[in-house]
Chain A
Amino acid sequence: MKHNSISLGIVTALAALAASISPGHAQASQPGWVTAAACTPAGPLIPTNTTESCGSDVLQPILSGLVTTDAKTGAIIEDIAESITTTDNKTWTIKLRKGRKFHDGSEVLAKNFVDAWNWAAYGPNGQSNNDWFSVVIGYGDLNPKAPKGEKPPAPATNRMSGLKVVGDHEFQVELKNPVPVFRAQLSYKAFYPMPDSFFADPAAFGRKPIGAGPFQLISGTPDSGYKLAAFTGYTGPAKPSIKGIDLKIYTSREAAYNDLVAGNLDLLRDIPASKLVADLWKRDLRGRTVVQPRANIQALGMPFTDANPQLLKPMVRQALSMAIDRKAIVDILFNGIGQPATGWVPPGVEGYQPGACGEYCSFNPAKAKDLLSKAGGYKGEIKLYYAGDSEVKSAMDAVCNSIQGTLSITCVTSALSDNATFRSFTRSGKADGPFPSNWTMDYPSIDNALIPLYSKDGTSNRGAYENAAFDALMDKAAKEDSAAAIKTYQEAERLLTAEMPRVPLWNPAMTVGHSPKVRSVTLYANGRIDYSALSLKD
C-alpha cells in the first residue's frame, strides 16, 4: 500500500505539472499596432547608461531630446528645443518649447535637462555615458582624479558650474573648449531630459522608463517584451500615425525571420546573413524588403606600437588597403548589401565627402605591389585578429585572401575567444596585426567619426594614433562656426590617407523585412526604425 501511495503522489505531481502549463494566450495584434522584433535589453533602461543596441532599440521611440534627426533628410532639427544659439561655440543658450510633456504628465522644463546632465556626469553614479559631459565646465569637480592606485575621492559637489537654469524654459551651457557641432551632439540620448521621478528612484525608471517621446511604455519586462502605446499628450514634430508598438523579444534573428515569413511579425531589422544569400529573403517576403545605408563604418584597425614595426610604415598600410578588393567582398559575401568605403566617415552623415580616401581605398593590385616594394617589402606573415564570437570571420577571411592574392604575403586570421578578450588584446598594444574595428555614429555629424578615434586624446583611439597636423585642424575647427568647422574636419579626414591609422573597408546597410500590413518604413541614419513615420495599410 505504501508504494501505491507514492505512485499516487507521482501521478498527482504530474497532473499539477500539466495544469501549470497554461494554455496559449495567443493574441491577435490590435488594430493600428505593429509587432516588431527586439532583443533583451542587457540592463536597466536608463538612457545615460545604455550603450548596447537592444536597450537603445527600446528607448528610441520613448525618448525625445533637444534636437532630433529628420529620418528622411538626415538633417538635425529642433525637437524640444525652440532655439539653440551661441556666438563663440562655448556659451550656448537653449530655449525650450512650452507645453512639451513627459509621459507622467509633468512638463519638460529646463531643470529636467540640467538635473539629468548633472546626474549623468556625477562620477560615483558610474554612467557609461559619463564622458559626454567632459566638455562642460565643472565636469572635473564631479569626477575628481584618483591618486595613483587608489579609489577616486568623493566629489565635493554634484552640480556642474557650467550649467545654469535661466528660467523654466531656458538654460545656459558653458563649455571648456569651443565645440562647433554641440547642437548635433545634443541629438545623442545622453543629453535627454529626465522627469523629476527619475531622481527619486532610478531603479524604478530603469524598469519602466518615462520619456517625452512619441511613444509611452505601457508594460513589459526585458524577457517578455514591451508594449509601447502612442503618447496622447505628444505635441512634438514626430507625431505617429500608428497606435502602438508591440516589441517581441527574440533570442535569435533566425527565429524572428521565421515568424516574419509565417506572418506572426510585422517588422524585423537586420535580416540574418543566411537569408540574404541569392536574395532568398526577397522571395520569401515577396519584395516586402527595405535596404538603407546606415551610419556605420567597418575598418581594419592598425597597431600603433612597435609590436610589428613593419606595419608602422605608411606605405605598407597603403599597399594593404589597395590590395583589398572591397567591391568583390561586398558583392559576393554581403550579396551587394552595403557599399565599399571611400573614406573614414559613413555616408548619410553631415560632412560626408565621397572619396576622401582617394585612390588608397580603391582596389589597384599594380600600385599596391609597387608601394610594397618601395616600402622594402614585407617579411613574415600578417596576422589578422578578430573576436571568435562575432560574425566577422568570413569577411576577415576574405580580406586576408584578397591581401594574400594581391601582395603574395601570407595572411592568416586568428580568432580570439570572445569580444572581451579581443578588446583587451587590441588595446593592450600587444597586437602585432590588424583587427576589425567598427564605428557606429552616436550622432550624425563628421566630427563624431574623427575626434574620438584619431585625435590625440580621443576617447576611443585604441591604436593610440597621434598626428600633430590632424590635432591642429581639430583645434582650428573648434573656433569656427559649424559650417566652416565641417570644412576643416573634411580637410582633416583627407589628411588620414598619409598614415592610414585605420583602413576603411565598407559601410554596411540596414536590411528590414516587413509584413503586408506595413505600407512604408523609414529608417534613421543609425539604422533604427522611425516609428513615427511608419504607415500601415487600413
Chain B
Amino acid sequence: MTGYILRRLLQFIPVFLGTTFVVFFLAWGMPGDPLAGKCGDRECPDAFVAAATEEFKLDRPLIVRYGYYLADLGRGDLGRSFTGRDVSEQLVAAFPATVRLALLAVLIEVLLGITIGVFAALRPGKAFDTTTMMVGLGIIAFPSFVIANLAQLVFGVRLGWFPVTVNDPTSFAELLLPAIVLALAHQVTLSRLTRSAVIETMQSDYIRTARAKGLGEARIVIVHALRNSLIPAVTYIGKDIGGLLAGAVVVEGVFNISGVGGLIVQSIRSHDGITIVGAVTVVVVAYLFINLLVDLSYAVLDPRIRYD
C-alpha cells in the first residue's frame, strides 16, 4: 500500500510539469498585448511599460520565461500577478470559499443522492422511484444559473430565509443556499448511479444468504448491499469534488462568492498569465490528490481490490 502511494505521488511530478508547461504556453500565447488596457481609457506611459516588461521578462522567449517560472516555483514562489498582488495571496483568498462550498455541496449531495438512490432501488419502478426520476430529470433540464438566480430571488430576496449573497470571510449560513443549488443537480446522477448498483447487488447470492440467515432488512441493505454498491458512487463523488474545486463559476458569480473559478476567469480576461498558471496548477494538484483518495477508497470498500 505504501509503495503504491509513493508510486502514485511520483507520478504527480510529470503531470505537474506537463500541466504548468501547457497552461503557461496557452496563457501567455493569447493574442493581444497583455499590457494593453492596463491604464484605463488612457494609453500606458513608457515608464510603466518598461518596468512591467522588465519585471515579467516580456521581452524574453516564452521558454526562458517558463524556466524562470519553474525556478521561482522551486523556491515556493508562485510569482506576482500583473496587478502587483502575489499569486499565493490571491489563491489563499480564493480557495477557502471554494473548498467550503465544494465540501458542503458534496455533503448535501451524498446525503440526498445515496438516500434517494437506496430507497428507489428497494422498490424499482414504483411510485418513489419514478417520482424522483422525473423530478431529477426536471432539475438537470434547467441550467444552473436559472436555478441559482431563482433560488436567490425566492429564498433570499423575497422570503428572506437565506442570506442573499456571500461575503468574505464566508460563513456556513451564507454558503448553505448555493451549496444546495449545486448539490441538487449533482445528486440526480449520484442517486441514479447508487440505485442501479444497489439493485444489482440486491440480486446477488450473498444477499440471499444473508436473508436466509435471518438478518433484518435494514442491516442487509445498509451493511451488506450498500457498501458493495458504493464504488461507482465514490468515483462520481471524487470527480465532483474535483470539478467543484475548479470552481462552480456560475453559481459562485450569482451568490457573490469570490472563489477559484472567478479568479481564473478574471485572470484570463485580463491576460494575467502568472495568476492563471498558479491557480490552474493548484487545481490540478488538488484533482490528482482526490483521484488518489478515490482509488484508495476502492480497497476499503471492496476487499478484493488490493494495491501493492
Interface residues of chain A, those whose CB is within 8 Å of chain B, are 3, 6-7, 14, 17, 20-26, 40, 42-44, 49, 51-53, 123-131, 143, 146, 151-152, 206, 221-225, 248-252, 254-256, 258-259, 261-262, 264, 389, 416-425, 427, 438-440, 442, 452, 459-460, 462
> Within 8 Å of chain A (Cβ to Cβ): is B34?
yes
Q: What are the 7 A-B residue pairs with the smallest beta carbon separation, nearest first?
A: A126-B51, A421-B32, A423-B36, A24-B171, A131-B45, A43-B83, A420-B32
A123 and B300 contact, CB distance less than 8 A: no
**Chain B 139-172 residues near chain A, CB threshold 8 A:** 152-153, 156-157, 160, 163-165, 167-169, 171-172
- Asked if B52 lies at the interface with its beta carbon under 8 angstroms from chain A, I say yes
Say yes or no: A262-B168 contact (C-beta < 8 A), given A254-B254, A424-B32: no
Of the candidates B30, B50, B172, B256, the one whose C-beta lies within 8 Å of that of A126 is: B50
**B205 within 8 Å of A (CB atoms):** no
**How many chain B residues touch the partner (CB < 8 A)?**
61
A418 partner, pick from B100, B163, B262, B271, beta carbons under 8 A: B271
Q: How far is the CA of A119 from the CA of B197 in the complex (A)?
A: 69
Contact count A vs B, C-beta below 8 Å: 183
B255-284 near A? 1/0 per residue, CB < 8 Å: 111100010000001110000000000000
Does B84 contact A206, Cβ atoms closer than 8 Å? Answer: yes
A423 lies within 8 A of B258 (CB):
no
Instruction: Given A225-B168, A258-B153, decide whether A130 and B48 contact each other with a Cβ distance below 8 A.
Output: yes
Q: Chain B residues with Cβ under 8 A from A53's Cβ?
A: 40
Per-residue interface assignment for chain B, residues 80 to 117, with 1 indicating a CB less than 8 Å from any chain A CB and 0 otherwise: 00011100000001100000100110010000000000
State whether A262 touches B42 (Cβ < 8 A): no
- Complex: A258 Cα to B154 Cα, angstroms: 11
**When each residue 157-189 of chain B gets 1 if its CB lies under 8 Å from chain A and 0 otherwise, what string results?**
100100111011101111100000000000000
| Contact B47 A418, beta carbon cutoff 8 Å | no
CA distance A43 to B40 in the complex (A): 13
The contact sample of 7 A-B pairs, CB cut-off 8 A, is A3-B303, A123-B50, A223-B168, A251-B252, A251-B262, A256-B256, A459-B42
**Quick check: A424 and B36 within 8 Å, CB to CB?**
yes
Does A21 lie within 8 Å of B100, measured CB to CB? Answer: yes
Residues of A within 8 A of B38 (CB): 51, 128
Q: Which secondary structure characterizes the binding site on chain B?
A: loop
In angstroms, Cα B157 to Cα A254, docked, is: 12
Contacts of A222 in B (CB 8 A): 85, 93
In the docked arrangement, what's the CA distance between A514 and B301, Å? 56
Return A20 CB to nearest CB of chain B, in Å.
7
Interface check B238, CB cutoff 8 A? no
- Would you call A250 and B171 a contact (CB within 8 A)? no
Known: A24-B171, A255-B256, A417-B31. Contact between A151 and B165, CB under 8 A? no
How far is it, in angstroms, between the C-alpha of A458 and the C-alpha of B41 when the chains are bound?
13
